[in-house]
Amino acid sequence: MATRPTTPASPKNAKIKSPSPGCPVFGCEHVQILLCQSQEVMNSSIAHYKMILRGIFDTTPILSQTSTNQEGRPVTSLTSNYLCLQCPVTLSEDDRLKHGTEKLHRFYVDSRTGALYCQICDDLVWDPTLEELRVRKIGTGTFSTNRKRKHDELFAESSKEDPRIISANTTVASCRASGLRGIYNAGATCYQNVVLQSFLHNPLLRNFYLSDGHQSSECSISHCLSCAMDDMFQDFYALESTNGYTAANILSGFWISEKKAFENLVTTKEQDAHEFFQFLAEELHERNGDGKRPQSGSEHTCNCIIHQTFYGKMQTTTTCQNCHNSTHAVQSFLDLSLGVDTLAQRRAKKTGQKLPALTLGDCLDEEYVKSDKCEYRCHKCASIQQARRHTSIKRLPNVLSIQLKRFEFKQGKHDRAASKIDNPVSFPLQLNMLPYTNRARNRDSRENLELERSCTYDLLSVVVHVGEIETGHYVSYCRVGDQWFKFNDHKVELARVSDVLGAQAYLLFYIIRSLA
């Protein structure tokens, strides 16, 4: 470590990743030979690899998918081509060996994934230096480590620290402690458990709490919910226990909390997981943030972990139909609540099906692409006018939480009858939010890929309600790495992607790709 240069010798010179314990310096002996020839060869190889990656990920795939066959005619393939790392040629898999024998070029880049193939190994090679470039290109769209997102320093900082300081001041958790534990149902508290699980497997919140973002030992507030969260994160990620967790502190904090999470709260009754999510988010904001109650409808900003994680901003533009004068109103949001009811009814009429299937895209279109008419007092016209109102997302959050409004209160004459909408709403593993932002309309098509990448979300967790409105059960699915898990109170099971996507989602949590 001592030999590691602290500053790059020259910004133009490419360098290989500095050696770290437990990691070979090169992907294979042959990459080692290539990169160790001279600084020049290393520079050109890495520069060429970057160029190829840009070609693959930033431009239309047609280019890299098209190779020239023996007769000199272009052939476009759906399956991978191979781009030579040592000369600007694209080859089909069949021509690869021939090119290698002729030119002694041994390294090729897969045209669909950017992975490096070594012909001498006859295998894909995962070289630490080149692989880091590829992963970063896929994740953030840029090779540089200076990421654009506002709050990313928070999450990147720790890697810059000296490993010796880290090892001296931290304890290494057992390999058994994976954060995968159930939470016991304390009597109709499954609505809390599902939200807690989705918080526990949220990388942003996890990093915040595990890096002592809120230390329960230094907090003087009694029955602080953030302390209870801190303790819970410690128990999940530091203890070997695989038994369920008893969220007693969360529960008592919840009961003691000054503002009641639910109106006419009765212990034994089942509650709404979404309301609990809102309650927990606001409570944690108050404990970690500026202490101000977020006023609904205002453009409240705060640097607390909850705001950095969940809050985004949406903009409502109202355009007078008479003078075409527009006014903008911006407000921050914790989650997007998407109506299902009207859409389902309309679809049912159209198709004649009893429970027509909807997609998440349909619901998002309804709220953030389409505009509606409203009455509005125009300043310019100084009178009430017809207006068009359009809502779009101005700033996307790092973790996008979406509620599908499956529970509706129908106002009757005497009582309110609640009903549940059982329509299946399909949702993707990967969500592009660009069409729902205010940049969707005035975008340049060239920036399209870049923008789209910054608006790409990956599904993180799903809260599912099963059963009737009055009595049902909540379960949740959370993703850890690429593996999905089903959390049913204290019981944790492996889940397949098809289980997750087939579930009747109530709450969805998506995480921005550039962080994931």
Partner 1 sequence: MNSATGRAGIIRARDDAGSMDKLAHSVLDDVLFNIVSDLLMKTHREEKTARATTAAIRVEKLASDASESSTPDSGPDVRIETDAAIYEDGKVLLKGNPLKTTTDILCPRCHLPRLLYPTDGKGARKPDPTIVYCKKHPFIEKPGCDIYGQSWVGPGPGRGKKKKDMDKKDGADGTPEQRPPNVLSFPSATCSKCKRCILVTRLNNHMGSCIGNSGRNASRAAAQRINGGGSQNEPTPPPSQKATPTPTSRAQSPRKRDVSDDDDDDSETSHKKKKLKPSQTKKVILKTKPPLKKDKIKSSSLSQEQKADYDVPSPKVLNKIKSKAESPIKKLKVTKPTIASPMSKNGRDIDGESESSGTLSSPPASRH
How, if at all, do strands 399-405 and 336-339 pair? parallel
* 217 in contact with partner 1 (CB under 8 A): no
Binning the chain into helix, strand and coil, the percentages to the nearest 5 are 35, 25, 40
Q: Provide the token pair at 341.
A: 């009811």
Q: Which residue in 175, 258, 354, 498 binds partner 1 (CB under 8 A)? A: 175
Exposed, middle or buried, 366 (CB in 10 Å: 0-12/13-18/19+)? middle
Shortest reach from residue 262's CB to partner 1, in Å: 11
| The residue type at 425 | V
Of the ranges 243-251, 294-302, 360-368, 439-447, which one interacts with partner 1 (CB under 8 A)?
A: 243-251
Judged by beta carbon, residue 39 or residue 246, the one nearer partner 1 is: 246
Cα–Cα distance measured from residue 501 to residue 359, given in angstroms and rounded to the nearest whole number: 11
Quick one: tokens of 343? 């859409």
Binds partner 1 (CB under 8 A): choice among 234, 246, 315, 371 = 246
One residue of 327, 341, 490, 499 binding partner 1 per CB under 8 A: 490
Q: Beta partners for 387? A: 320, 374
Q: Is 64 left (phi over 0), alpha (psi -120 to 50) or beta?
A: alpha
248 near partner 1 (CB under 8 A): yes
Stretch that binds partner 1, among 96-104, 178-186, 354-362, 391-399 (CB under 8 A): 178-186
Region 67-86 residues binding partner 1, contact defined as CB under 8 A: 77-80
Site string for partner 1, 9-38 (x = CB under 8 A): ----------x-xxxxxxxxx--x------
- In whole angstroms, how close is the CB of 118 to partner 1 at the nearest point? 9
**Which tokens is 319 given?**
């355009």
Side-chain-side CA neighbours of 183 within 13 Å: the count stands at 29
CB of 343 to partner 1, least distance (A): 31
Mark the segment that binds partner 1 (CB under 8 A) among 47-55, 168-176, 357-365, 436-444: 168-176
- Which residue of 6, 38, 159, 268 would you call a contact of partner 1, by CB under 8 A? 268
Residue 188 binds partner 1, judged by CB under 8 A: yes
Q: How far lies 317's CA from each of 78, 290, 328, 433, 444, in Å? A: 43, 29, 5, 19, 21
The yes or no reply on residue 485 touching partner 1 (CB under 8 A) is: yes
Q: Are 332 and 281 in contact (CB under 8 A)?
A: no
Cβ neighbours of residue 36 closer than 8 Å, sequence gap 6 or more = 42
Decide: 287 and 233 in contact? Cβ < 8 Å: no
SS3 169: helix
Residues 321-350 that bind partner 1 (CB under 8 A): none
- Cβ 23 to partner 1 shortest distance, Å: 6
Yes or no: say if 186 and 246 are a contact pair by the CB < 8 Å rule. yes
Max distance between CA atoms of the chain, in angstroms, equals 86
Count CB atoms within 10 A of the CB of residue 50: 16
Please, are residues 199 and 205 in contact by the beta-carbon 8 Å criterion?
yes
Which CB, 237 or 311, lies closer to partner 1? 237
Nearest residue (CB) to partner 1, 102 versus 415: 415
Minimum CB separation from partner 1 for residue 21, in Å?
6
E strands, 413-503, are 416-420, 425-426, 430-432, 456-467, 472-480, 483-488, 491-495
Q: Binder to partner 1 among 68, 178, 315, 317 (CB under 8 A)?
A: 178
Residue closer to partner 1 (CB basis): 250 or 338: 250
What's the CA gap between 128 and 65, in Å, rounded? 26
Tell me how many degrees the CA angle 265-271-272 measures, rounded to the nearest 5: 125
Determine, following the binding rule CB under 8 A, whether residue 494 of this chain makes contact with partner 1: yes
**Side-by-side strand order, sheet with 123-125:** 90-91, 82-84, 107-110, 116-118, 123-125
**Minimum distance, C-beta of residue 121 to partner 1, in the bound complex (Å):** 5
C-alpha 498/C-alpha 74 separation (Å) is 39
Rule CB under 8 A: which of 126-165 touch partner 1? Answer: 126
| Binding span for partner 1 by CB under 8 A among 197-205, 249-257, 347-355, 393-401 | 249-257
* Of 246-254, 354-362, 365-373, 412-420: span binding partner 1 (CB under 8 A): 246-254
> By CB under 8 A, is residue 412 in contact with partner 1?
no
Q: How far is the CB of 26 from partner 1 (least distance, A)?
A: 6
Binding mask 90-129 for partner 1 (x = CB under 8 A): --------------------x-xx-x-----x-xx-x---
Nearest distance from C-beta of residue 148 to partner 1, angstroms: 27
Between CA 456 and CA 445 the distance in angstroms is 17
- The token duo for 435 is 């069409």
Q: Which residue has the tokens 């230390």?
A: 215
Positions in 416-435 near partner 1 (CB under 8 A): none
Residues in contact with partner 1, counted by CB under 8 A, come to a total of 63
Q: Could you say whether residue 5 binds partner 1 (CB under 8 A)? A: no
R_g of the chain computed on alpha carbons: 27
Smallest distance from partner 1 to CB 10, Å: 22
Nearer to partner 1, 28 or 507 (CB): 28
Binding region for partner 1 (CB under 8 A):
1-3, 19, 21-29, 32, 77-80, 110, 112-113, 115, 121, 123-124, 126, 172, 174-176, 178, 180, 182, 184-189, 223, 240, 242-244, 246, 248-249, 251-252, 255-256, 265-268, 482-483, 485, 490-494
